[in-house]
């Protein structure tokens, strides 16, 4: 394959799907990776805890000069341990992101001495690419917009951002700086599309604090706030609110503690002296002296919030006077577990306030008017919408037209497309292999076939035909038996005697088998499996897992 001499963008995830953001930049034989994220499994992924993008393309990419991480959210850094286990490359990021990566690498038994480098403090040269990180406002500390200067021109990679200025100007999106970049000339904008279908502007984080404060002021008992563990700014605001109302801030949950530890080390969680509850004070302080931040805003099964709701938390016992504030969005796929947890909280007599009752949560992503402003300020020649399902990417493309960017200058691409910047603009010139790798809680890979079996088991149960065959003669001994679990053996026509008929199907398939097939267990199993599966599907419209058992006599 001739090496291209144009600038290429190769998304290995994150386009046409939510999460697993990975973007490869390629110039000739030189490559750079921006972000290495994971995605969370859907309901159909039984027993899967983590979905990783398939990164095998990187083996063939040429020389990999480094991985640049825009920020520390899992959909941008979660696949990093798997990437650096295979590719020994330096990782560049802001101090907070590096802090999270360092603690994560320890969990994966990867050397903490991994080559982690500062992104901040000026342009970094990575092969033919020069990368500079600018602060942007987001829902985790120190998110970085990237300016990537290449032989083919200047690229702005927005990362996740919004334009709202946060409390610390140095860590907020600087729109004047964006305008300056625009005047210098931006060739391609890779823009976050997550909220491209939301009108207006995303409200500021200060509005969340303003909505929560009165709910703390008049609470008769404990206040428990559940939010994303990485949302350090919100947690700091909660600490200040607690202090103003005679309460102490307690953080419960391992992920919260991990984020707080990194944030404290970097001076990002500065709180009034004495405003944090000591570990035993969670139990000993009067309820109206506590503001508890609980991990598990998506009601993850073992999380602090889920345990509190079930009355199983070691330290926090809910009482009827307590008030629970769900200060988070509901990530698609978590609706049911969050609903269940809220029901459990209400059953224990607590009052529950969600974003549907009061403005206790805002998104960390720019809405339509901000995406519009980003395009107006940067004046890019081309736009490649990133981060989103097709509808968000399309919405971003449409609003770009309103911002004055001709439709011919916007490219809608999918994960796996090779996008090249050529004389005629941005175009898809090739495809590479992309896909997903499924992992369970022990970080072992869950094979696609295993997942398919689990789905069959969950939906339609299992049918086990048991056949005894003489090893030497291949003769079938006796009549086959059929066991079924979780399978309703009733035909579409109401025929309740389906399993008797199914036994006949097995007998027939055995009769028609050659003696070679009968002596070869694998062949015999495959034959029985396919015949029985076809019969059951035809008669019941169901596809249970069929597991033939051959007993050799
Ligand atoms: Zn993201
Ligand atoms: Zn993010």
Question: 250 CA to middle of ligand 2, Å?
Answer: 25
| Window from 73-82, 338-347, 450-459 with minimum mean pLDDT | 450-459
- Give the CB-side neighbour count of residue 187, counting CA atoms within 13 A: 17
Question: 91 CA to middle of ligand 2, Å?
Answer: 18
| pLDDT score of 63 | 96
Q: What is the mean pLDDT of residues 73-84?
A: 94
Q: What is the mean pLDDT of residues 370-375?
A: 98
Give the C-alpha separation, 170 to 7, whole Å: 32
| Window from 171-185, 353-367, 490-504 with minimum mean pLDDT | 490-504
- Per-residue confidence band for 112, with pLDDT thresholds at 50, 70 and 90: low
| Window from 16-25, 161-170, 184-193, 345-354 with minimum mean pLDDT | 161-170
Q: What is the mean pLDDT of residues 237-262?
A: 96
pLDDT above 60 (res 130): yes
Query: How many percent of the chain have pLDDT more than 90?
Result: 71
pLDDT above 60 (res 166): yes
Taking alpha carbons only, the member of 250, 231, 79, 215 closest to residue 166 is: 231
Question: 76 CA to middle of ligand 2, Å?
Answer: 7
| Window from 22-26, 72-76, 198-202, 513-517 with minimum mean pLDDT | 513-517
Question: 436 CA to middle of ligand 1, Å?
Answer: 17
Question: 138 CA to middle of ligand 2, Å?
Answer: 7
Element housing 83 (H / E): helix 80-86
Question: 157 CA to middle of ligand 2, Å?
Answer: 13
Beta bridge partners of 374: none
534 contact partners, CB below 8 Å, separation of at least 6: none
pLDDT above 70 (res 145): yes
| pLDDT score of 534 | 93
Model confidence pLDDT, tens digit, residues 452-478:
888 888 888 899 999 888 877 777 778
- Per-residue confidence band for 42, with pLDDT thresholds at 50, 70 and 90: confident
Question: 73 CA to middle of ligand 1, Å?
Answer: 6
Give the C-alpha separation, 91 to 319, whole Å: 47
Question: 350 CA to middle of ligand 2, Å?
Answer: 31
Average pLDDT, the chain: 92
| pLDDT score of 4 | 52
Q: What is the DSSP string of 391-438?
A: HHHHHHHHHHHHTT--GGGB----TTEEEEEETTEEEEEEE----EEE
Model confidence pLDDT, tens digit, residues 115-124:
999 999 999 9
Strands 91-93 and 436-439: unpaired
pLDDT above 80 (res 443): no
Which one of the ligands is nearest to 17 CA? 1
Q: In what order do the strands lie in the sheet with 50-53?
A: 50-53, 436-439, 445-446
pLDDT above 70 (res 110): no
Query: How many percent of the chain have pLDDT more than 70?
Result: 98
| pLDDT score of 410 | 98
pLDDT above 80 (res 379): yes
| pLDDT score of 113 | 65
Strands 7-13 and 188-192: unpaired
Q: Give the CA angle between residues 414, 431, 12 to the nearest 5°.
A: 50
- Per-residue confidence band for 33, with pLDDT thresholds at 50, 70 and 90: very high
- Per-residue confidence band for 513, with pLDDT thresholds at 50, 70 and 90: confident
Question: 388 CA to middle of ligand 1, Å?
Answer: 9
């Amino acid at each position: 394959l001739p090496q291209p001499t144009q600038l290429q963008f190769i998304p290995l995830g994150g386009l046409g799907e939510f999460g697993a953001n990975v973007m490869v930049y390629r110039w000739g034989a030189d490559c750079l990776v921006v972000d290495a994220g994971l995605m969370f499994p859907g309901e159909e992924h039984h027993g899967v805890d983590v979905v990783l993008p398939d990164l095998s393309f990187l083996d063939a990419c040429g020389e990999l000069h480094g991985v640049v991480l825009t920020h520390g959210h899992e959909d941008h850094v979660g696949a990093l341990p798997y990437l650096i286990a295979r590719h020994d490359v330096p990782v560049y990021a802001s101090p907070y992101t590096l802090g999270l990566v360092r603690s994560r690498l320890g969990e994966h038994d990867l050397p903490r001495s991994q080559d982690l480098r500062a992104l901040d403090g000026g342009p970094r040269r990575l092969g033919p690419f020069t990368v500079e990180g600018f602060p942007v406002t987001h829902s985790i500390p120190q998110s970085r917009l990237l300016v990537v200067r290449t032989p083919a021109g200047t690229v702005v990679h927005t990362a996740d951002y919004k334009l709202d200025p946060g409390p610390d100007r140095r860590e907020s999106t600087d729109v004047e700086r964006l305008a300056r970049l625009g005047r210098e000339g931006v060739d391609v904008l890779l823009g976050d599309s997550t909220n491209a279908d939301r009108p207006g502007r995303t409200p500021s984080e200060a509005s969340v604090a303003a909505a929560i404060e009165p709910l703390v002021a008049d609470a008769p008992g404990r206040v428990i706030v559940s939010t994303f563990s990485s949302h350090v700014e919100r947690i700091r605001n909660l600490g200040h609110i607690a202090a103003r109302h005679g309460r102490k801030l307690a953080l419960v949950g391992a992920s919260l503690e991990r984020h707080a530890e990194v944030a404290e080390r970097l001076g990002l969680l500065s709180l009034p002296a004495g405003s944090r509850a000591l570990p035993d004070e969670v139990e000993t302080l009067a309820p109206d002296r506590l503001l508890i931040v609980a991990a598990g805003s998506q009601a993850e099964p073992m999380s602090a919030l889920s345990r509190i709701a079930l009355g199983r938390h070691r330290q926090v016992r809910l009482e009827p006077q307590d008030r629970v504030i769900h200060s988070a969005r509901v990530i698609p796929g978590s609706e049911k577990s969050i609903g269940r947890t809220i029901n459990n909280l209400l059953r224990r007599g607590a009052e529950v306030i969600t974003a549907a009752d009061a403005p206790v949560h805002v998104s960390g992503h720019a809405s339509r008017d901000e995406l519009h402003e980003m395009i107006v300020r940067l004046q890019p020649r081309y736009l490649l919408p990133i981060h989103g399902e097709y509808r968000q990417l399309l919405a971003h493309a449409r609003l770009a037209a309103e911002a004055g960017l001709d439709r011919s200058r916007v490219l809608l691409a999918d994960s796996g497309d090779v996008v090249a910047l050529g004389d005629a603009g941005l175009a898809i010139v090739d495809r590479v292999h992309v896909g997903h790798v499924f992992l369970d809680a022990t970080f072992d890979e869950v094979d696609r076939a295993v997942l398919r079996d689990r789905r069959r088991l969950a939906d339609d149960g299992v049918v086990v035909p048991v056949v005894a065959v003489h090893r030497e003669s291949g003769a079938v001994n006796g009549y086959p038996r059929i066991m079924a679990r979780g399978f309703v053996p009733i035909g579409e026509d109401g025929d309740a005697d389906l399993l008797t008929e199914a036994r006949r199907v097995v007998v027939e398939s055995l009769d028609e088998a050659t003696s070679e097939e009968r002596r070869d267990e694998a062949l015999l199993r495959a034959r029985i499996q396919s015949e029985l599966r076809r019969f059951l599907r035809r008669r019941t419209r169901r596809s249970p897992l069929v597991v033939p058992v051959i007993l050799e006599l």
